Amino acid sequence: MRTINDFNFKNKKALIRVDFNVPLDADLKVTDNNRIVAAKPTILKILEDGGSAILMSHLGRPNGQASPELSLKNILKEVTQVIGVDVKFVEDCVGPVAEKAVADLKSGEVLLLENLRFHSEEEQGDEEFAEKLSRLGDIYVNDAFGTAHRAHASTTIVAKFFPKQKCFGFLLAKEIEAIEKVMRTGEKPITAILGGAKVSSKITIIENILDKVDHLIIGGGMTYTFVKAQGGKVGDSICEDDKMELALEILAEAKKKGVEVHIPVDVLAADDFSKDANTKVVNSDEIPDGWQGLDAGPQTLENFKKVILDSKTILWNGPVGVFEMEPFAKGTIAVGNFIAEATKNGAFSLVGGGDSVSAVKQFGFEEKVSYVSTGGGAMLESLEGKDLPGIAAILEE
């Protein structure tokens, strides 16, 4: 795996695919700069070597149309502030204007190109567009894990124009290593904690990881499909009736492979999907009509705690309750605390997938786990065992 450490960038122009698809407020100010911060080490390594950095990214979904609200000019000030270098900007990402800006770029300087998706060819994976992008750099660096599952011009196709001059940035390399640790090289026992609302959205992940893990903890809305499939009463809880047979098949397959599955035995139930609802702790298979399970119960959390603290490798993908509502956040916070404790004791912990990442940030666990993935969809596809085109393109000679 060629990383940025395998190259010296002295007098070289590095064309870097970053993921600066950051949220903006009504005044077009950046509200969360994590993705910019994550790219900083890669950019600084290039500058310290004596090279220059050309940054390309998308922002939002402009569908091939230029739009002032989605111009990367809006994030220029934030990028400059984070990187600590006066970042230049050019109004296009290909063609004479971009090529001139690159030609004028000196060692130690950084140039931000305009939104790639202002050109529809970017998402189409157009080869001619990728070739135009390739003219802007001597070495291609992919540091955008969040888009590595897309075969777009800037993430995948452009790599073929840099046969020996392409590599992973620090961020993307760390993402690959973190997933490898869980899926291939992790120290046992390995535990996967899968939460979220639906079994259907996690089927491929479950099928793919059953060969790798020793324990599978099921949480969140998925719980009730498994409980009902085994004859339990789940009241008004979210449940995919058409996936109950699948849930039983998963349990049978896990048993065959020697994987212990841990499903909540009690839950915090509410008589309404509201933070002001009446609540009570009930057995997960005895939820009364008119009530719905919205968080893991105390006995369940004790059971989960034991499994997590005994683990050496932990994957967390999905909350165990409706953590967005304060009364139903306790389970997710408790799981975060258990993972933090296990990590402190030497376990490797990887958190990935939209909602669990949000929970980790919201409740302050970012520094207490081993790695928080920056790529939602890309992370999920990795866990499903799919080859990500953006990664495969760098690995090809």
Task: Please state which of the ranges 37-41, 296-300, 355-359, 372-376 shows the lowest mean pLDDT.
Answer: 372-376
Q: Which fold has domain 186-383?
A: Rossmann fold (3.40.50)
Reduce the DSSP state of residue 290 to 3 states and report it.
Answer: coil
**Average of pLDDT values for 7-33?**
95
pLDDT of residue 143: 96
pLDDT of residue 147: 87
**Average of pLDDT values for 282-307?**
98
Q: Which string of DSSP letters, residue by residue, matches 183-234?
A: IIIPPSSEEEEE-SS-STTTHHHHHHHTTT-SEEEE-TTHHHHHHHHTT-EE
Burial of 337 (0-12, 13-18, 19+ CB in 10 A): middle
Parallel, antiparallel, or unpaired for β 266-270 and 292-296?
Answer: antiparallel
Residue 375 assigned ligand-binding role: no
User: Active-site residue numbers?
Assistant: 35, 198, 354, 377
Cα distance between residue 111 and residue 132, in whole Å = 16
Does the pLDDT at position 354 exceed 70? no
**Average of pLDDT values for 20-33?**
93
Cα distance between residue 16 and residue 123, in whole Å = 17
Q: Which residue has the tokens 């866990």?
A: 383
From the options 3.40.50.40, 3.20.20.120, 3.40.190.80, 3.40.50.1260, give the CATH code of 4-171.
Answer: 3.40.50.1260
Q: Which positions ≥6 away from 220 have C-beta within 8 Å?
A: 195, 196, 197, 318, 319, 320, 321
Short-list 243, 257, 249, 294, CA closest to 273:
294
pLDDT of residue 174: 92
State the angle between helix axes of 170-180 and 34-49 in degrees (0 to 180), rounded to the nearest 10: 120
* All structural domains of the chain with their residue ranges: 4-171, 186-383
0.95 exceeded by the pTM? no
Does the pLDDT at position 375 exceed 90? no
Give the model confidence (pLDDT) of 55-99 as tens digits: 999 999 999 999 999 999 999 999 999 999 999 999 999 999 999
Task: Please state which of the ranges 63-72, 197-206, 227-236 shows the lowest mean pLDDT.
Answer: 197-206
Residue 20 assigned ligand-binding role: yes
Identical fold between 4-171 and 186-383: yes
Structure tokens given for 204: 């491929």
Handedness of CA 386, 370, 343, 346 (dihedral sign): positive
Give the model confidence (pLDDT) of 120-169 as tens digits: 999 999 999 999 999 999 999 999 988 888 899 999 999 999 999 999 99
Short-list 24, 19, 58, CA closest to 40:
19
Give the model confidence (pLDDT) of 170-193 as tens digits: 999 999 999 888 888 889 999 999
Q: Which positions ≥6 away from 339 have C-beta within 8 Å?
A: 193, 308, 314, 316, 347, 349, 351, 365, 368, 369
Does the pLDDT at position 342 exceed 90? yes
Residue 202 assigned ligand-binding role: yes
Residue 311 assigned ligand-binding role: no
Cis peptide before 327 (omega within 30 of 0): no
Structure tokens given for 277: 């609802």
Residue 395 assigned ligand-binding role: no
Cα distance between residue 57 and residue 374, in whole Å = 15
Give the model confidence (pLDDT) of 310-324 as tens digits: 999 999 999 999 999
Task: Please state which of the ranges 8-17, 227-236, 269-278, 366-375 shows the lowest mean pLDDT.
Answer: 366-375
pLDDT of residue 127: 97
Residue 108 assigned ligand-binding role: no
Short-list 259, 16, 266, CA closest to 154:
16
Residue 71 assigned ligand-binding role: no
